[in-house]
Amino acid sequence: MITVAQARAALSDLIAPLPSQEVDLVDAAGRVLAREMQAQRDQPPFAASSMDGYAVKSAEVELHAMFKVIGEAAAGHRFEAPVGAGQAVRIFTGAPIPEGTDFVVIQEDVSRTGDLITITDEPGTKTNIRPAGGDFTVGTVVSAPRILAPQDIALLASMNIARVPVTRKPVIAILATGDELVMPGETPGPDQIIASNSFGLKAMVERLGATARLLPIARDTLSSLRTAFDLASSADLIVTIGGASVGDHDLVAQATADLGMERAFYKVAMRPGKPLMAGRLNGAAMVGLPGNPVSAMVCGHIFLAPMIRTMLGLGTELPSLRAATLDSPLAQNGPREHYMRAVVADGKVTAFDNQDSSLLTILSQANALLVREPNDPTLAAGASVNYLPL
């Protein structure tokens, strides 16, 4: 068996960042920006009013001062003529500041009679003007790589960028194996169960930015497995679930060996998830996950997530481990690294008593994986421990 760190390093060697493609900005949310982009214009492109009011010369602004209103400026419609002494322009939020003015008296501080206004309340010193380029200027950079959030899309749009380069989405083929499995909605036989891992892993990899392809369940025959692997041939990463152990009905290892897989490793010193297999099959990376539901999902978090991030150009690191105080004592850990389902609340972490790798109900309730090193000693309540957020 190899360590978790060694397994992750070996998996990293199986994949590489994918090429980029251009997409319309309207389709870019959630994608990974592949290279930095630069603003094509200043924002705002002119000095603009930040309030509704009257544009005047700041040197003339004082309580009880009077001005003659000579025109109006609105967003998209500037006042074209220069403004002289004693004159004002009615202005609305977003409108360009008229030539000759450098102060906007807000309308609440003014009384108006016909074309005359009087400053009736103390106007203060704030000019109520947004300077040209106050947000960004030509050449301002949006750095990459980054997952484009809604606010990034808004920024790129305001920079007048209509198409952006994004990393191609990795295609992940997900293949569940086993005569005991049927799809959700079907009627299982007396010795069958519902295939759940495929759906959980599909949701996980798509949340990470990949495209998931659910393949038909492969039966416990070499011919069925070979057909399934043919269907997965165009994927960037093939993920099998179950059948990677050493029992008489665990045929994934034999089927992939027959198809020429270059195996990178088999078995990892971790709980849950020991029977993990990986290698390269027909040019694509392949990971064989355990069939136990929790084992498959935990391995997805620990191993598949960094692989997908690497293919997207985001690096290989998991989210940083966080520290919390243990709410109740834990017995000594065994020789394998243990990822325990747990709940973190108010700075304290509580591991579930039953860590059986078949219990999806507990995984569904968990918001963290408490990480224990091999042979970690008994821990008392109040000890500081590390966890991975889910």
* DSSP secondary structure, 258-276, as one string: HTT-EEEEE-BSEES--S-
Q: In what order do the strands lie in the sheet with 110-113?
A: 103-106, 53-56, 87-91, 66-73, 116-119, 110-113
In angstroms, the Cα distances linking 83 to 3, 16, 58 are 75, 62, 12
Burial of 357 (0-12, 13-18, 19+ CB in 10 A): buried
User: Strands 171-176 and 211-214, how do they pair?
Assistant: parallel
| 116 HSE (CA, 13 A, CB side) | 6
Alpha carbon distance 66, 384 (integer Å): 69
Q: Tell me the pLDDT of the chain (390 aa) as tens digits.
A: 899 999 999 999 999 999 999 999 999 999 999 999 999 999 999 999 999 999 999 999 999 999 999 999 999 999 999 999 999 999 999 999 999 999 999 999 999 999 999 999 999 999 999 999 999 999 999 999 999 999 999 999 999 999 999 999 999 999 999 999 999 999 999 999 999 999 999 999 999 999 999 999 999 899 999 999 999 989 999 999 987 655 545 688 889 888 999 999 989 999 998 889 999 998 899 999 998 999 999 999 999 999 999 999 998 777 789 999 999 999 999 999 999 999 999 999 999 999 999 999 999 999 999 999 999 999 999 999 999 999
Token pair 């809604």 is at which residue?
Answer: 150
Q: Write out the two tokens for 287.
A: 């990971």
The per-residue pLDDT for range 271-288, each reduced to its tens digit, is: 998 889 999 998 899 999
Average pLDDT of the chain, as a whole number: 94
pTM above threshold 0.75: yes
Sign of CA dihedral 54, 57, 61, 66: negative
Residue 376 identity (one-letter amino acid)? D
Provide the pLDDT for residue 247: 52
DSSP 300: I
Alpha carbon distance 368, 265 (integer Å): 27
Q: Write out the two tokens for 134.
A: 């106050």
Contact 279, 289 (CB under 8 A): no
Contact 45, 93 (CB under 8 A): no
